[in-house]
Structure 1
């Protein structure tokens, strides 16, 4: 293989490695953000779930978080039609807000 082809091949391999490495860092950054969330547990989970399901009118709890940036508790409820609603609750499990997630949010 002549010198120009070796340089071109080496440059291509390095570029692919950098791109792949950058993608790995991006994925790791996303995973780290999710890992810092704390789920609701114990009796608080029962109370928060009940309040959120009552507010939404049914469904199933598919995620929870303590210390959400918008409230003390956040409960994600998924309805039978696939709609997801994030219900924000205060320390007394009263609803202080909600947001329906749409496919456009992703």
Structure 2
């Protein structure tokens, strides 16, 4: 019986390692896992960000961002990107141009 238990435990461990998940949470190279905005909050956050930026397309969202309660990434018609930071009431608290170098510049 001990051999079977050891085999089952080993198979489970191998599956966890292969899938890159532990308890349903993805392992992301030691960094944080971004949590997308969902539901009614998503609709409100998108509307607030697009109104602030003046249009474009929402290309990413994050709840619980390190800079604010919500972050909405908008790609403008000219191809530039901006990260709009929102508080819990969907009020814009900051905006940062998102450039290719990974650095953000305040607009």
Q: TM-score range by the shorter chain?
A: 0.5 to 0.7
Q: Which residue of 1 aligns with 2:58?
A: 61
| CA RMSD, Structure 1 to Structure 2 (Å) | 1.6
| Stretches of 4+ aligned residues off by more than 2 angstroms | 103-106
Of 55-64 and 95-104, the range deviating more from structure 2: 95-104
How many residues were matched structurally? 76
1:57-96, Cα deviation, whole Å (9 max, x unpaired): 0000000000000100000000111101000000000000
SS of equivalent residue, structure 2 residue 59 = strand
Higher strand proportion (structure 1 or 2): 2
- Structure 2: gaps spanning 5 or more residues: 1-27
Higher helix proportion (structure 1 or 2): 1
Larger Rg: 1
Residues 1:33 and 2:31 are matched in the alignment: yes
2:45 maps to which of 33, 48, 55: 48
Q: Which residue of 1 aligns with 2:100?
A: 103
- Structure 1: gaps spanning 5 or more residues: 1-27
SS of equivalent residue, structure 2 residue 101 = helix
